[in-house]
Amino acid sequence: MKGLIKKKKILMASGSSEQNILYPWLAFVSILLFNLIFTDGFFNLEIKNGHLFGSLVDILNRGTPIMLISIGMTLVYATGGVDLSVGAIIAISGAMAAKLIRPDYVKGVLEYGDQTSLLIVLLIPLALSFILGLWNGFLVAYIGVQPIIATLILMTVGRGIAQLITHGQIIVFEHSTFQYIGSGFFLGLPFPIILVILVFVFTWALTRKTSTGLFIEASGANEKASRYMGIPVRMIKSLTYGFSGFCAGLAGLIITADIKAADANNAGNFMELDAIAAVIIGGTINGGRFSLAGAITGALIIQGLTTTIITRGVPPQVVLVFKAVIIIIVALIQSGKLRNKVSKLMHTGEKIS
Q: How far is the CB of 49 from other proteins (least distance, A)?
A: 37
Q: What part of residues 207-236 is at the interface with other proteins (CB under 8 A)?
A: 209-212, 214-215, 217-218, 221-222, 224-232
Select from 40-48, 57-65, 164-172, 243-251 the region that touches other proteins (CB under 8 A).
Answer: 164-172
With beta carbons less than 8 A apart as the criterion, state whether 179 and 192 touch.
no
Q: How far is the CB of 227 from other proteins (least distance, A)?
A: 6
Select from 68-76, 196-204, 303-311, 333-341 the region that touches other proteins (CB under 8 A).
Answer: 333-341
Among 1, 48, 143, 313, binds other proteins (CB under 8 A): 143
The secondary structure of the chain, three-state, reads CHHHHHHHHHHHHCCCCCCCCHHHHHHHHHHHHHHHHHCCCCCCCEEECCEEECHHHHHHHHCHHHHHHHHHHHHHHHCCCCCCCHHHHHHHHHHHHHHHHCCCHHHCCCCCCCCCCHHHHHHHHHHHHHHHHHHHHHHHHHHCCCHHHHHHHHHHHHHHHHHHHHCCCCEECCCHHHHHHHHCEECCEEHHHHHHHHHHHHHHHHHHCCCHHHHHHHHHHCHHHHHHCCCCHHHHHHHHHHHHHHHHHHHHHHHHHHHCEECCCCCCCCHHHHHHHHHHHCCCCCCCCCCHHHHHHHHHHHHHHHHHHHHCCCCHHHHHHHHHHHHHHHHHHHHHHHHHHHHHHHHHHHHHC
Q: What part of residues 80-139 is at the interface with other proteins (CB under 8 A)?
A: 82, 84, 139
Q: What part of residues 236-275 is at the interface with other proteins (CB under 8 A)?
A: 270, 273
Binding track over 50-89 against other proteins, x by CB under 8 A: --------------------------------x-x-----
Q: 189-190 and 185-186: which strand pairing?
A: antiparallel
Among 3, 4, 5, 15, binds other proteins (CB under 8 A): 15
Helix pair angle (233-259, 176-183), 10° resolution: 110
Polymer length of the chain: 353
Select from 28-36, 64-72, 118-126, 151-159 the region that touches other proteins (CB under 8 A).
Answer: 151-159
Query: Between 103 and 168, whose beta carbon lies closer to other proteins?
Result: 168
Q: How far is the CB of 139 from other proteins (least distance, A)?
A: 8
Select from 28-36, 97-105, 110-118, 140-148 the region that touches other proteins (CB under 8 A).
Answer: 140-148
- Count of residues near other proteins by CB under 8 A: 77
Q: How far is the CB of 281 from other proteins (least distance, A)?
A: 13
Select from 44-52, 120-128, 152-160, 190-198 the region that touches other proteins (CB under 8 A).
Answer: 152-160
Residue 39 in contact with other proteins, rule: CB under 8 A: no
Select from 114-122, 182-190, 255-263, 328-336 the region that touches other proteins (CB under 8 A).
Answer: 328-336
Query: Between 152 and 259, whose beta carbon lies closer to other proteins?
Result: 152
Query: Between 22 and 325, whose beta carbon lies closer to other proteins?
Result: 325
